[in-house]
């Protein structure tokens, strides 16, 4: 049975004191709320705060409250790449997850599917789980190109891996036109694309792998619409942006699974 997952991508938000307060609030509310053991919660703060997040990811009884992820990783294993963070650095800290190929990385930093594939490879080598983002612009959707584009992103970014490696990957569908805009794909639109991604994966890796693949929705998912989105058959959770910056909203989303 595939995992239900809610991952919070803080992006470039929160100064230190605010980040500390949010992590404390989140830890307390997750513990008090007794979240379902079936839901994997992931917090992806800016890299400066990952050690603090790791410290607060367990309660006083050393019970795990949430996993910690990075927002990006270098495509290089090590070397003279000023400002970059390598997969083995993440692994050595105990970071379990890493977002790869987010639309903002693709748009603002020119990240390609080939770079995404190299980053995924680095993460898998260090046993860090990649959360690989795919999705279309409004222009692509309106032109009816979104299925072709998403297929291309999945195939170029992920289909170079053997089945034993692919099963360690999480995919996040993020319609670019819905990120930070307040617009959200309808539950039916999200379900349609998630089912399509699962079908594309099935064509390459077979039914069992596709059936067990966790596919998250990202794109203005919030405390009000999460339950309806998560009720769709092929939506296994969310990659949450702005709503992950408020502990109460994020915990509401975590508890939105029926």
Q: Which residues are catalytic?
A: 102, 174
CB 236 within 8 A of CB 5: yes
What is the 8-class DSSP label of residue 5? E
Whole-angstrom CA distances from 173 to 8, 74, 90, 137 are: 14, 22, 24, 12
Phi/psi at 66 (nearest 5 deg)?
-160, 160
Angle 113-125/146-158 helices, nearest 10 degrees? 40
Which neighbouring-strand residues pair with 216?
A: 172
Number of continuous H segments (helices) and E segments (strands) in the chain: 12, 8
């Amino acid at each position: 049975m595939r995992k239900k997952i809610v991952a919070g991508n803080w992006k470039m938000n929160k100064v230190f004191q605010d980040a500390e307060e949010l992590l404390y609030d989140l830890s307390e509310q997750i513990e008090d709320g007794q979240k379902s053991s079936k839901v994997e919660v992931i917090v992806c703060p800016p890299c400066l705060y990952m050690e603090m997040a790791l410290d607060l990811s367990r309660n006083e009884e050393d019970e795990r409250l949430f996993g910690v992820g990075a927002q990006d990783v270098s495509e290089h294993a090590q070397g003279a790449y000023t400002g970059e963070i390598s997969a083995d650095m993440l692994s050595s800290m105990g970071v379990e997850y890493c977002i790869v190929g987010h639309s903002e990385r693709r748009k603002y930093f020119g990240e390609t599917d080939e770079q995404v594939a190299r980053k995924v490879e680095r993460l898998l080598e260090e046993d860090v789980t990649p959360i690989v983002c795919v999705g279309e612009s409004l222009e692509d959707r309106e032109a009816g190109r979104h299925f072709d584009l998403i297929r291309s992103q999945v195939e170029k970014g992920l289909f170079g891996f053997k089945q034993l490696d692919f099963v360690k990957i999480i995919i996040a569908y993020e319609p670019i036109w819905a990120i930070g805009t307040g617009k959200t794909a309808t539950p039916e639109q999200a379900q349609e694309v998630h089912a399509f991604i699962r079908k594309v994966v099935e064509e390459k890796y077979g039914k069992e792998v596709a059936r067990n693949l966790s596919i998250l929705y990202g794109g203005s998912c919030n405390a009000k619409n999460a339950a309806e989105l998560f009720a769709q058959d092929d939506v296994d959770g969310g990659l949450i942006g702005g709503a992950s910056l408020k502990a109460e909203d994020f915990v509401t989303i975590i508890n939105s699974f029926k």
